[in-house]
Structure 1
Amino acid sequence: MCLFEGRKLSFLFCLAASVTVYSVIYLWTKTQIEPKLINSPSCRPFATECKAFLPGTEEGVEWHRQDCQVERFIVNNQLQCSNLTKDLHFITRPLSREEEDYPLAFIMTIHKEFELFVRVLRAIYMPQNVYCIHVDAKAPPEYQDAVRKIVGCFKNAFLSTQSESVTYGGFSRLQADVNCMKDLVGSSIGWRKVVNLCGQDFPISSNLELVQYMKSKNWRDRNMTPGVKQPGYMRYRTEFQHREITGSRVALKGWGMKKSLPPHNLQIYFGTAYYALTRAFVDFVLKSNISHDLLEWSKDTYSPDEHYWVTLNHIKEAPGSYIDGEWEGNVRAIKWSDQVGTVHDGCKGHYVRDICIFGVGDLPWIINQNQMFANKFDKTYPEALDCLEQWHRNKVLNQATVPIEPSWLLATQKNSSSRSFNSSAGA
C-alpha cells in the first residue's frame, strides 16, 4: 500500500511538473506570437489639437480609438482574410447608389511605411472601386510580402503585374503608372475615371465627394491634369538628356547633351504628376502613336510624369482633353516652401524637397482646402494622420445612405450613443 501511494505521489508530482513546464512554454510562445500592444503607437489617444475637428468633444467626453489591429498585422502577420476587413475597419458595402453607379479606379505607388499604406487604402477603399498597387521593386522582401498578403484579401485590388525600381524624378515613376493602367483596362469593373496616389497621400474628400466632383459640369467629360506651358526655367528638364541612376537620382547625361525636338511637334507643358483621367483617355495613352512616341521621347527627361499627362491633355486628339486648361483641378493640397505667405501660413511639420510633411498644426489649413487629397504625411507626426483619418471617416459615414456597420467605426465615444459619430463631421 505504501509502495502504491509512493508511486501515485511520484506520478502526480511528475504530472504537475510537466503541466507547469508546458504551460510556461505555451505562454512564452504565445507572447512571442502575439506581442502586447498596450504601448503600440497605433493605440495612442488623439492629440489635444484634434478636438477642434471631432464632434462631441465637450468636457467629459472622450474618443477611444479601436485601431490597434494595423500594428498587430505588422508585428505578427497573423490576421486571416476572413477577419481582416472587420478587424481593420474596412467599409464593406457601397454607401450610396450614386457611388455604386460611378466606380473609380485608383493607382497607388508605394515603397515604404506599411502601416501608412494600409491606412490610406482603408480610407479610399470601397467595394465597387478597383485598386492597382505598384510596389517598388527595390522595396524589402518582407514589405512586399506584407503588401501582397493584404491586397490578396480583396477581389477588387491587385498588385501591378510589372514592377519598376522607382527613382525620384525618373522615368521609372511614370512607367509605374502606365504599368497599372495596362492592368486596369483589363479589369471587369467598369470604372469611369482613374486617380493616382503615392503612399504619402491622404484623402480630404470622401468617395461620394470624389464622384460628385468627377461628374460635375466642368469635369464630367474632361481629364484633370493641372499645368501650363512649360516655363523657361523648367526647359532644362526636356531640352537635355538625363540618365536615371537606379534607386538613387537622375543626373544630366554627359556635359549637357541636347535632346531632339518633341515628337509630332508637341508643345510641352509642365504641371502636377497627379491627375484624374477618363477611361477613354487611358485607352488613348495605351494605343495612340502620339502617346507612345512621347513616352519613348520622355525616357531621358527629368521627372517626365510632370509633363507627360498634362502635355497629352492639351492636344485635340486626346479624349477628354482640356486644351485651354491651366491649373484648374483640385487634385492636391500641398504646402510648397516658396508659397509661404501667399498660399499658406507655413509648414507646422518640416520640409522635405520643399514640400511640407504635415504636422497637427497643418490640419486647419488642410481641412479648409477644397482638394481631393493632401500630400505629404509620414510617421514623423503620427498625431496629424490620426486626427485627419478620424475626421475623414466621420465625414464618410455621415454621408452614407445605408445602415452603418459597427466595424466601420475607427473610434467610439465614451458615454455616448452608438450613432454619436453622426452628430457633426466637422466638414
Structure 2
Amino acid sequence: MCHLGPTKSFFVVCLVISVLVGSLIYWSADVPAEPKSRAECRPFAPQCKPFLLGYNSGLRWHRQNCEVEHYIANNTLNCSTLISDFNFITAPLSKEEEEYPLAFILTIHKERELFIRLLRAIYMPQNVYCIHMDAKVPLEYKVSVHKLANCFENVFVTGRSETVTYAGYSRLQADLNCMEELVQSRIRWRKVLNVCGQDFPIMSNLELVRYMQSEKWKDKNMTPGVKQPTKFSSRTSLQHIEMPGNVRRIERVKLPPPRRIQVYFGTAYYALTREFVKFVLTSQVAQEFLVWSRDTYSPDEHFWVTLNHIREAPGSYLTGGWEGSVRAIKWSDQEGASHDGCKGRYVRDICVYGTGDLPWIFKRDSMFANKFESGTYPEALDCLEAWHRIKVLMQATVPIEPTWLLAIPYSRGV
C-alpha cells in the first residue's frame, strides 16, 4: 500500500470529497444540505464515524434506502426499480476489472438481509454469481432470493440444492454443484471465490482482481493449509456419518486415501483457477479422492487444499502453507496473540463482530471478514458497508452514478 505524508493525505481526501460532493450536486441539485432522516435508517454508530471518508474534516454521511427486507418481499417490485433502489453498481468501474471477470459461489441458509447486502457489495456486471440455498430454507425465503437473482443476467441459483449439515459432506457438495454450472457460464471468469452468507468484503473488486493477478497468485490456487496435524487425524482416519443436523463419528477405521495422497488440512475458503475447477470436476484422481472424502468430518477443510498439493493439478501450490489473505477471523483461542479480543460475541469460537472490532478489520489485508449478524450488531455491518462502498467508488475510473451511493454526504453536522 502507498504511504502518503500528512499534507498529501489531506489533499487527496479533500480532492475525493470534492469530487463526490460535486458530482452529487451536479446529478441532483435538490439534495438538501442536511437530508431528512428516515425512521427505517439507523444512524451511523459513533464508533463508526471516524472511519467514514472526510468525517474529521466536517463531512457527514446519511444512509439511504434501508428497508431491504421489506423491499424484497414486495411482489410488485420490478427489476429496474430494485436494482436502482438497492444501489447495485451497473457498469464495470475500470477496464482492468472488466478484463478479469471473477466468479463467486454464495452459500446461504439464513440472514436474508445480510445476504442481499453481501451480494450488493461484491456485485459487478462483468462477474458471475452462483447462489446455493440450503434445501431447508422456508419457501418464502427461496422465492425472494429467486426474485432477486432473476433481475440479473449474471446471477443464478444453482439447480441442485443440498440439505446442508455443519461439518458434513453436503457443504462440500454445495460448492461442487455451483462449480458444475459455473464452468458452463458464457462469462469467461478467471478465478472463483466462495463466500458464505455471514461474510462481508474488505477488499474492493479492483483490489481482488489485482490480488488475483499479483506475481504470487496469478497462476496459482489459493487454498491456505498445511499437512494434516495429528490432532485432526481422526477427521479422516475414522468414518463419519452425516445425519440431519449433525455429523456422527463411527469408531471404524477408514482405508487410506487413494493413490497414497497426502492429506492436508486448511480453510474451507479459496480462490481457484478455472482450469483447476475443471480438473476437480473431471479428473480421475479428484473424483476418487472425492468419493473417499464422503465419510470424513468437514471434508471442505481438506478437499481443496489437498488437491492443490497434487503436482498434476493446474495452478497447484506444492510449497504453499497458510499463505493467502482469505478471511479476517477472530478465533477465541487466538485472543491476545493475533487479536485483542471479540467486541461482539463468540459463536462456535468465531467472533461475531461488533463496532469495536472495526479498527482491527480495517487494518487487515484479507479479502473478506467473517462473521456478521445483521440482527445482533447491525451498526458494525452498516459502517463496514459504507466504508467499503466509498472505497469502491473512489477507485472507479468511470463517472459515478448517483444510485451507486449507499450514503449521501453533506457538510452540516449531525
TM over 0.5: yes
Tell me, in whole angstroms, the C-alpha distance in 2 between the residues paired with 1:235 and 1:82.
Answer: 52
User: Shift in Å at residue 115 of structure 1?
Assistant: 0.7
The partner residue of 1:402 within 398, 402, 411 is: 398
The partner residue of 1:299 within 294, 297, 306 is: 294
Please say if residues 58 and 411 of structure 2, whose CA atoms lie closer than 8 Å, have aligned partners that are also in contact: no
Residue equivalent to 1:412 = 408
- Is 2:96 the counterpart of 1:98? yes
Higher relative contact order (CA 8 A, sep 6+): 2
Please say if residues 118 and 197 of structure 2, whose CA atoms lie closer than 8 Å, have aligned partners that are also in contact: yes
Residue equivalent to 2:379 = 383
Query: Structure 1's 125 and 260: CA in aligned 2 closer, same or farther, altered over 3 A?
Result: same
Tell me, in whole angstroms, the C-alpha distance in 2 between the residues paired with 1:292 and 1:90.
Answer: 38
Residue equivalent to 2:20 = none
- Is 2:253 the counterpart of 1:258? yes
Tell me, in whole angstroms, the C-alpha distance in 2 between the residues paired with 1:330 and 1:60.
Answer: 34
Which ranges of structure 1 fall in alignment gaps of 5 or more residues? 1-36, 417-427
Please say if residues 89 and 404 of structure 2, whose CA atoms lie closer than 8 Å, have aligned partners that are also in contact: yes
User: Shift in Å at residue 241 of structure 1?
Assistant: 0.5
- Is 2:176 the counterpart of 1:178? yes
User: Shift in Å at residue 262 of structure 1?
Assistant: 0.4
Q: Aligned letter for 1:103?
A: P
Tell me, in whole angstroms, the C-alpha distance in 2 between the residues paired with 1:212 and 1:94.
Answer: 15
User: Shift in Å at residue 60 of structure 1?
Assistant: 6.1
Please say if residues 69 and 88 of structure 1, whose CA atoms lie closer than 8 Å, have aligned partners that are also in contact: no
The partner residue of 2:330 within 307, 321, 335 is: 335
Please say if residues 98 and 126 of structure 2, whose CA atoms lie closer than 8 Å, have aligned partners that are also in contact: yes
- Is 2:281 the counterpart of 1:286? yes
Tell me, in whole angstroms, the C-alpha distance in 1 between the residues paired with 2:221 and 2:57.
Answer: 47
**Cα shift readout 1:328-374 (whole Å, capped 9, x = no counterpart):** 00000000001011110000000011000000000000110000000
**Cα shift readout 1:163-189 (whole Å, capped 9, x = no counterpart):** 000000000000000000000000000
The partner residue of 2:157 within 156, 159, 169 is: 159
Q: Aligned letter for 2:305?
A: V
| Aligned residue-pair number | 375
User: Shift in Å at residue 59 of structure 1?
Assistant: 7.8
Q: What SS class does the counterpart of residue 119 from structure 1 fall into?
A: helix
User: Shift in Å at residue 76 of structure 1?
Assistant: 3.2
User: Shift in Å at residue 61 of structure 1?
Assistant: 4.4
Please say if residues 265 and 301 of structure 2, whose CA atoms lie closer than 8 Å, have aligned partners that are also in contact: yes
Q: What SS class does the counterpart of residue 169 from structure 1 fall into?
A: coil
Q: Aligned letter for 1:102?
A: Y
Q: Aligned letter for 1:114?
A: R
User: Shift in Å at residue 38 of structure 1?
Assistant: 5.2
User: Shift in Å at residue 415 of structure 1?
Assistant: 3.5
- Is 2:233 the counterpart of 1:235? yes
Residue equivalent to 2:111 = 113
Tell me, in whole angstroms, the C-alpha distance in 2 between the residues paired with 1:91 and 1:83.
Answer: 13
Q: Aligned letter for 1:80?
A: N
Residue equivalent to 2:8 = none
Q: What SS class does the counterpart of residue 348 from structure 1 fall into?
A: coil
User: Shift in Å at residue 67 of structure 1?
Assistant: 2.6
**Cα shift readout 1:62-89 (whole Å, capped 9, x = no counterpart):** 3111132413314534421121111100
Q: Aligned letter for 1:368?
A: K
User: Shift in Å at residue 55 of structure 1?
Assistant: 1.7
Please say if residues 228 and 265 of structure 2, whose CA atoms lie closer than 8 Å, have aligned partners that are also in contact: yes
Q: What SS class does the counterpart of residue 48 from structure 2 fall into?
A: helix
Residue equivalent to 1:28 = none
- Max Rg structure: 1
Residue equivalent to 1:348 = 343
Tell me, in whole angstroms, the C-alpha distance in 2 between the residues paired with 1:69 and 1:132.
Answer: 24
Residue equivalent to 2:211 = 213
Normalising by structure 2, report the TM-score.
Answer: 0.89
Tell me, in whole angstroms, the C-alpha distance in 2 between the residues paired with 1:371 and 1:38.
Answer: 34
Please say if residues 167 and 298 of structure 2, whose CA atoms lie closer than 8 Å, have aligned partners that are also in contact: yes
Please say if residues 72 and 148 of structure 2, whose CA atoms lie closer than 8 Å, have aligned partners that are also in contact: no
Please say if residues 74 and 115 of structure 1, whose CA atoms lie closer than 8 Å, have aligned partners that are also in contact: no
Tell me, in whole angstroms, the C-alpha distance in 2 between the residues paired with 1:273 and 1:170.
Answer: 12
Which ranges of structure 2 fall in alignment gaps of 5 or more residues? 1-36
Q: Summarize the alignment of residues 33-52 of structure 1 with structure 2, pairs less than 5 Å apart.
A: 39-40=39-40, 43-52=41-50
Query: Structure 1's 343 and 127: CA in aligned 2 closer, same or farther, altered over 3 A?
Result: same
Query: Structure 1's 320 and 371: CA in aligned 2 closer, same or farther, altered over 3 A?
Result: same
Tell me, in whole angstroms, the C-alpha distance in 1 between the residues paired with 2:406 and 2:329.
Answer: 26
- Is 2:309 the counterpart of 1:314? yes
Tell me, in whole angstroms, the C-alpha distance in 2 between the residues paired with 1:61 and 1:224.
Answer: 39
